Amino acid sequence: MASSTEPGALNPEANEASSGRAARVQAVVSNLVGKPWFWVVFIVLIIVGPVSRAFLHGVPRAPEMKLPLPAFELTSDRGVPYGSADLRGKVWVADFMFTSCPTVCPKLTRRMGEIQRRSRHLGDAFHLVSISVDPENDTPERLAAYAQGYKADPLRWTFLTGSLEAIESTVVKGFKMAMGKEESAPGSGLFNIFHGERLVLVDADGNIRGYYEADDAGVSALLHDAGIIANQRAFR
């Protein structure tokens, strides 16, 4: 009468073969662990893995634009000279406005206020500059009152005025932005002030690195680029 093995019962020959394979694997592992080069390779793989994944995801790149900004000196809302020499070593953003503007300037100033809040982590490495394109009316005192109304931090945000000639030279020749006056109606004698509405990012060496729209996407792109440039400067 032939004998049979019940389901689940151990087969002595199969068990012995399995034990032999396990013993050989264990011997190979033990042999590898005992080799100094094994641990070198192991540590290298641990380090290289995350680094290679980071490179595969792409390293953030700074803007390619580098347009030198000519030196300038204007007058701050504190009534003292202030210009490119004071901003040297900082990444900064500029906008162009005037205090009596009823339309686009309040929007631009609010955007600058948003940038002030969102760039707190950059500390003293980042600054904001608002340049009046109506210097005949925007005195330092008037700019100071305007700045206070928008909760501008005087340590991080400076408002500038000056002679009309100096302002035009800085804005038009330096920043390559439009500004001026146009008659509201022929023969009326009334003029409207116009100016560029984009935000300008400048690096710590005084190079213009980009022009940005004053909208959600533009502000986010500006802050992204400003962070990259500031961090590159910190690790020089």
Q: How many domains does the chain have?
A: 2
**37 with 73, same domain?**
no
CATH code of the domain containing 211: 3.40.30.10
Asked if 50 and 108 sit in the same domain, the reply is no
Please report whether residue 6 resides in a domain.
no
Two tokens, residue 19? 């034990």
Tell me whether residue 176 is in a domain.
yes
CB distance 175 to 62 below 8 Å: no
Same structural domain, 156 and 89? yes
The whole domain housing 171 covers 67-234
Question: How much of the chain is in helix, strand and coil states, percent to nearest 5?
Answer: 45, 20, 35
What is this structure's pTM?
A: 0.74
- Helix intervals (H) in the chain: 12-33, 36-57, 84-87, 104-118, 140-149, 164-168, 216-234
Examine the domain organization and report whether 113 and 220 are in the same domain: yes
Residues 123 and 51 occupy one common structural domain: no
| 7 within some domain | no
Nearest CA to 78 out of 142, 166, 149, 12 is that of: 142
- Residues 227, 197, 168: CA angle, nearest 5 degrees: 100
Predicted confidence pLDDT, tens digits, the chain (236 residues): 444 444 444 565 655 656 666 667 566 656 755 666 555 555 655 665 555 454 445 567 889 999 999 999 999 999 999 999 999 999 999 999 999 999 999 999 999 999 999 999 999 999 999 999 999 999 999 999 999 999 999 999 999 999 999 999 999 999 999 999 887 767 766 678 999 999 999 999 999 999 999 999 999 999 999 999 998 866 55
